[in-house]
Amino acid sequence: MTQKNFSDTKHWLRTARTISEALPFMRRYAGKTFVVKYGGHAMVDEELAAIFASDIVLMKQVGVNPIVVHGGGPQIGRMLERLSVKSEFVDGLRITDSKTVEVVEMVLSGTINKSIVSAINAAGGRAVGLSGKDGHLIQAQKLRRTTKDPESNIEKVLDLGFVGEPSLIDPSILTSLQDSGLIPVIAPIGIGPNGETYNINADTVAGAIASAAGASRLLMLTDVIGVLDKAGELLPDLNISQVEALQADGTISGGMIPKLETCVKAVENGVEASVILDGRLPHSMLLEIFTGGGIGTLIHR
C-alpha cells in the first residue's frame, strides 16, 4: 500500500467510525419528534441554508420527525426600513402596529417560509409551509406584558399592539403531514378570536409547538455558541433554577430572554430537553443529535 493510499484509508476509517457511532443515537431518536427553531440570525447565507436543509432531510431519512419553526427578525427589520416604518423592541419583542403586522406576515409567511420549504425540497425532502392560520394550528391572543417602574415599584401594562401569544395549539395538521412523510415548516403567525393577525415571537411558537406535539427535543438555532456567562464563557448545561438566577442577575438580555423562558416552559411541559446552539456552525444539529459531543447549552429539569 502506498503512503497516500494508507492516509486515504485512515481518513475513510474515521468517517466510517463516525457514521457507526451515530447508530445508537439514530435508534434512540427514531420515531421521536424534534422541533427545530431556525432563527433569523442563523440564516446567514445560502450555503449554510442548504446545509441546514439537508440536515433536516437527513433527520427525516433516519426516522426522526423534524418540525421547523422559523423566525426572521432581521429580515423583517430590513423590510420595515425599506418601507420607512420605524420599529422598536421591548424585552426582545417587536412593538407591532397594524402596518407592521402586515409586513411581518408578508416576510415570515411569504419570503422566508417559502425559501426554507424550497431549500428542504431541493435537498430531497418534502416540506410543506404553513403559518398558525393553517388548519387551526395556532389560535392566539394579545400578549399581556407588564413592567415594574424601578423607582415607585408600580406595575404598568405595556401595549405591544398586535404581539400575540398562543392560546390554543391544534397539532393535528402536523400529525397528518408527518404521517404522509412531509416536513412541516411553520411561520410564527397566529390568528385571534376575531380573525386578527398576531405577530408571535418565533421562540415562543417553537416552544408551544414542541409541548403540544409531545416533542422529545427543542433545538434553538441562533447566532451565538449558546448561553454565555458574565465573562463570555459558554454555559454547557443549565437546570431551571440556574436559568432563573441568570435572569435575575441580568446575565441575559434582549432576544435571549424569550428564548430561555421558552426553553424552561418546554421542559416544564414535558419536552425532555431544550438546546440553544450555534446555527452559524455547519451541521451543528447533526453534531448535537447524532454524536456524543453535545454542543451549545442544554436546558433540562
Ligand X SMILES: CC(=O)N[C@@H](CCC(=O)OP(=O)(O)O)C(=O)O
Ligand Y SMILES: Nc1ncnc2c1ncn2[C@@H]1O[C@H](COP(=O)(O)OP(=O)(O)O)[C@@H](O)[C@H]1O
Q: Which stretch binds ligand Y (CB under 6 A): 17-25, 33-41, 112-120, 208-216?
A: 33-41
Only one residue has cell 422566508, namely: 112
Q: Which three cell numbers stand for residue 296?
A: 451549545
Name the residue nearer to ligand Y (CB basis): 93 or 123. 93
Distance, CA of 195 to chain centre = 26
Given ligand Y, ligand X, none, residue 201, with its beta carbon under 5 to 8 Å by kind, binds ligand X
Which residues belong to the annotated binding site? 72-73, 94, 199
Q: Does 39 bind ligand X (CB under 6 A)?
A: yes
Closest CA to 133 of 75, 199, 178, 71: 199
Given ligand Y, ligand X, none, residue 253, with its beta carbon under 5 to 8 Å by kind, binds ligand Y
Q: Does 223 bind ligand Y (CB under 6 A)?
A: yes
Closest CA to 159 of 84, 76, 88: 88
Q: Which stretch binds ligand Y (CB under 6 A): 25-33, 120-128, 253-261, 280-288?
A: 253-261
First-to-final CA distance of the chain: 53
Q: State the minimum distance, in angstroms, from the CB of residue 146 to ligand Y.
A: 21
Q: How far apart are CA 2 and CA 177, in angstroms?
A: 52
Q: State the minimum distance, in angstroms, from the CB of residue 231 to ligand Y.
A: 11
Using Cβ positions, the residue closest to ligand Y within the complex turns out to be 255
Q: Which stretch binds ligand Y (CB under 6 A): 106-114, 129-137, 224-232, 236-244?
A: 224-232
According to CB under 6 A, which residues from 147 to 206 bind ligand Y?
A: 203
Q: How far apart are CA 163 and CA 170, in angstroms?
A: 20
Q: Does 22 bind ligand Y (CB under 6 A)?
A: no
Q: How far apart are CA 169 and CA 213, in angstroms?
A: 9
Determine which residue in the list 51, 57, 58, 73 makes contact with ligand Y, applying CB under 6 A.
73
Q: Which three cell numbers stand for residue 51?
A: 446545509
Determine which residue in the list 35, 104, 169, 208 makes contact with ligand X, applying CB under 6 A.
104
Q: Would you give the binding string for ligand X spanning residues 113-142, x where CB under 6 A is met?
A: ------------------------------
Closest CA to 48 of 1, 96, 116, 145: 116
Check if the beta carbon of residue 247 is closer than 8 Å to that of residue 260: yes
E strand map for 193-290? 197-199, 217-222, 237-239, 273-278
Q: Does 255 bind ligand X (CB under 6 A)?
A: yes
Distance, CA of 211 to chain centre = 13
Name the residue nearer to ligand X (CB basis): 71 or 166. 71
Residues in the site for ligand X, rule: CB under 6 A?
39-41, 71-73, 76, 93-94, 104, 163, 188, 199, 201-202, 255
